[in-house]
Amino acid sequence: MKRRDFFTNTGCGALALFLARLGLKADVLLDDKTEEKKAMIVKMIMEKMGKTEEEAKAMVIKLEEMLPEVKEKCICKTCPTFVAEEENVGFCHPFISKSEIIIEERGCNCPQCPVYKMKEMKNGYYCTRKSEMEQEFAKQK
């Protein structure tokens, strides 16, 4: 859903405008897929890190707060693997994760990304292989 459609369809123009000023898209924060993704992340944190549900939910809130910064600093669009049809960036973040559009790996710029360096990430090809968190949890078995 585009911002304009959100204003028209929900009547929540002020909320959507406020979110847009923060660099957030209302449709990303309010769609069912995001809520499903959050629940999946909570479950992964509990299972793989041994955290309580309360601790896992607190970590998800921190991830949510970090998302605008990830999108702002992200260099996904400069990557040889990125395709013009893709609208998302910040695939290293578990709320975004793997692209549904990008399928062919043609080189990875992730290690040069400020987010990668700031968060001391270890993996790459997030657009085709899932987020840092998901790749790290997959290694744990």
d(CA 56, CA 48): 11
How confident is the prediction along the chain (141 residues), in pLDDT tens digits per residue? 454 444 444 444 555 555 556 655 544 444 667 888 899 999 999 999 999 999 999 999 999 999 999 999 999 999 999 999 999 999 999 999 999 999 999 999 999 999 999 999 999 999 999 999 999 999 987
User: Which DSSP symbol is given to 51?
Assistant: -
Domain ranges of the chain: 1-30, 31-140
Residue matched to tokens 């509990």: 46
Q: What is the largest CA-CA distance in the chain?
A: 46
Buried b (16+ CB within 10 A) or exposed e, 108-140: bbbeebebbeeeebebbbbbbbbbbbbbebeee
